[in-house]
Every structure is written in C-alpha cells, then in structure tokens.
Amino acid sequence: RKEVEQDPGPFNVPEGATVAFNCTYSNSASQSFFWYRQDCRKEPKLLMSVYSSGNEDGRFTAQLNRASQYISLLIRDSKLSDSATYLCVVNGGGGGNKLTFGTGTQLKVEL
C-alpha cells in the first residue's frame, strides 16, 4: 500500500459545482496533514492545513478521519480558477520534517 494515495482524476466539473477529494494514508502515527495546490508547471503552494476538528477557509473545507486514515477536501461553488492539481501531504513525524506527497488529484472546472 502506498504511504499516501489519491485518485489521480481528472475530475471534470461545471462551474459552481461542489467537488470532493479523498486521500488515504498508511502510517497511523502520522501527525500533520496538508493540502497543497499545484498549477500546471508551477511549484506547489499551501492551500490549507488539516486539523483534527476539521477546518474551513472560504469555499474550501478539509476534514481528517484518523480512524479510517483519510483526509478530504471539499470545494464548494467551483471557479474556473480552481482548476489545478491538489496534492495531499502527510507528515509522518520524526526529525527533519519529512513530508510524504501524494501524486495529486487533477481538477478541471469547465464553463
């Protein structure tokens, strides 16, 4: 089983739709979780951290389910500008802050 697993997509959705991505992780000792956004041929940028209690930032909501070892990202009212690849990132702990990146889920928002 991969350490961090994501559906590669692409998810093709119309503008205004709600879309959700899941990401599973294998290390039950993982301590911190993030969603990064990566535009085509650009560097990843932090979208949001994922807290145990769940957190929301505008149209974006992140959830953590430790029992089932997955995190989710919900995007409401999708915009064309949301088209990107969303990377699930997990910190397994230990020294050096070694993060494990998923391969990403591609989202395409269409008119």
Partner 1 sequence: NAGVTQTPKFRILKIGQSMTLQCTQDMNHNYMYWYRQDPGMGLKLIYYSVGAGITDKGEVPNGYNVSRSTTEDFPLRLELAAPSQTSVYFCASSTRTGVASVLTFGAGSRLTVL
Q: How far apart are CA 71 and CA 48, in angstroms?
A: 12
In the list 24, 25, 44, 107, the residue contacting partner 1 (rule: CB under 8 A) is 44
Does residue 2 sit in helix, strand or coil?
Answer: coil
Amino acid at 63: Q
Stretch that binds partner 1, among 13-21, 31-39, 59-67, 75-83 (CB under 8 A): 31-39
Residue 55 makes CB contacts below 8 A (sequence gap 6+) with 48, 49, 61, 62
Q: Which is nearer to partner 1, 19 or 89 (CB)?
A: 89
Q: Taking CB under 8 A as the rule, does residue 43 contact partner 1?
A: yes
Q: Taking CB under 8 A as the rule, does residue 103 contact partner 1?
A: yes
Does residue 1 sit in helix, strand or coil?
Answer: coil
Residues making up the chain, counted from first to last: 111
Q: Which is nearer to partner 1, 72 or 103 (CB)?
A: 103
Q: How far is the CB of 96 from partner 1 (least distance, A)?
A: 5
In the list 21, 61, 102, 107, the residue contacting partner 1 (rule: CB under 8 A) is 102
Residue 22 makes CB contacts below 8 A (sequence gap 6+) with 6, 7, 70, 71, 72
**Which positions touch partner 1 (CB under 8 A)?**
4, 8, 31-32, 34, 36, 41-46, 49, 87, 91, 93, 95-104
